[in-house]
Amino acid sequence: MKIIDNQSQFWSFAYQWTRRVPADYQYALKAPYMEEYFLDGHGELLEQYRTYRDGKPTPGDDQNNRWRPDQNLSYAVHDFISEGDSPAYMYLFDFNGLRSSEDPTYGAWGGRFAPNESGWIDTTDYNPFTAADDRSFPQTRWVVEIQDDFAARADWGVTPRYRDANHNPRASVREGLDLKRKPGKQVTLRGRGSDPDGDRLTYRWWQYTDADTYPGTVTLNDANTPTVSFTVPADAVPGQTIHLILEVTDDGSPALKHYQRVIVTVK
C-alpha cells in the first residue's frame, strides 16, 4: 500500500501558521476575518468552530489550553487555531478543477508531494515572497482561496435565498485538459468562465512550474485574458509536461475562484 506522507506542509495550516504562511496571506487567518465570515451570525454549526482564546473548551480536549483567554497571548481572541488535518481531505477535492486526486505530484489545496520509496512525501514549491524553495508553500499558496471558499459555504448555511450569497464561478477550456504538442509548436488555450450570480469575472493563466517535469518556464501571451498562447520550448524532451492553470475569479464577497489545469505533454 502506497501512502502520502505529509510531514511538514500540514503545519502551515495548523498551529505554526504565523511562522509559515506568507504575511500577505495571514489576514485570512486573523480575528477580523474569522469574525466576519465565520463567527458572527453564522448559525449553530459555526458556533462550534473554535478559535484562539475564545473561552470555549472542546469537549474531551479540556487539557488543550488554546481556548483559554489568559493563555497564548501572542494571538488575538478569535485568531485561527488549526485545521492541520484538513489537507488530507482537501487533497481529494476535485470540484475546484485542480485535478489533485489524479496524481500527488500535481499539487492543490491539500499540498504537493514527490515520489519516495513508500509512495509520496511532501516537497517544496518556489516561494516568491522569500525567493527560495519552501516546503510549506505547496500548502500556504492556497490559504486565501481555501478560507474564502469556506466562508462562502458558511454563508450558504444561513442564507435563506440563493441570490443573497456568493457562489463559485465555473471555468472551462475549449481545447481540453490533456494535450500533446511537439517542441517549437505554438499552443493556444481558450478559456471560458461563467458565474451563477452574474458576477464580473477576471482571468489569469499561470504556469505551475513546480508541478512541471519540464525544467523551465514558458512565456505566456495575454495571460490575464481568457485566451492564452505560448510556444513549447525547443529544448523540451518528449514525455515532459507543462502545467498551465486557468484561474477564474468573481467579484462577489468573498471573492471565489474556479480553476482548470491543462497539462501539455511534449511529444
Q: List the one residue out of 5, 206, 238, 215 whose CA is nearest residue 114.
A: 5
Total number of domains constituting the chain: 2
Note whether 111 and 87 are within 8 A (CB).
Answer: yes
DSSP-derived 3-state class of residue 13: helix
Is the distance from CB of 205 to CB of 246 less than 8 angstroms? yes
At 149 the three-state DSSP class reads helix
34-80: pLDDT as tens digits? 999 999 999 999 999 999 999 998 888 777 889 999 999 999 999 99
**Cα 107 to Cα 119: distance, rounded to the nearest angstrom:** 15
pLDDT of 161 above 90: yes
Residues 129 and 173 in one domain: no
Together in a domain, 75 and 148: yes
Residue 161 within any structural domain of the chain: no
Asked which of 130, 156, 182 is the last residue of a domain, the reply is 156
Strand partners, 171: 193
Q: Which of 124, 156, 188 is the last residue of a domain?
A: 156
Give the pairing type, strands 178-181 and 257-266: parallel
Residue 118 has pLDDT above 80, yes or no: yes
Q: Do 76 and 121 fall into the same domain? A: yes
**Cell digits for 68?**
483559554
**How far does the chain reach from its first CA to its final CA, in angstroms?**
32
Q: Do 104 and 16 sit in the same domain of this protein? A: yes
For 9-24, the pLDDT digits (tens) are 999 999 999 999 999 9
H helix runs in the chain, sequence order: 17-20, 31-34, 43-47, 86-90, 137-140, 143-156
Which among 194, 191, 206, 173 has a CA at the least distance from the CA of 250? 194
CATH number of the domain where residue 203 is located: 2.60.40.10
Residues 60/65/67/68 CA torsion (nearest 10 deg)? 120
Per-residue pLDDT of 225-241, as tens digits, reads: 999 999 999 999 999 99
Q: Which pTM was predicted? A: 0.95
pLDDT at 61: 78
Please check whether residue 74 lies inside any domain of the structure: yes
Quote the domain boundaries for residue 24: 3-156
Q: Give residue-wise pLDDT tens across range 68-91.
A: 999 999 999 999 999 988 998 898
Do 12 and 143 share a domain, yes or no?
Answer: yes
Three-class DSSP category at 50: coil
Residues 138, 123 contacting (CB under 8 angstroms): yes
Same domain, 148 and 199: no
CA dist., res. 259 & res. 203, Å (int) = 10
Give the C-alpha distances (Å, rounded to integers) separating 154 from 22, 66, 159, 255: 25, 23, 9, 14
Q: What is the mean pLDDT of the segment spanning 215-230?
A: 98
Same domain? For 138 and 176 the reply is no
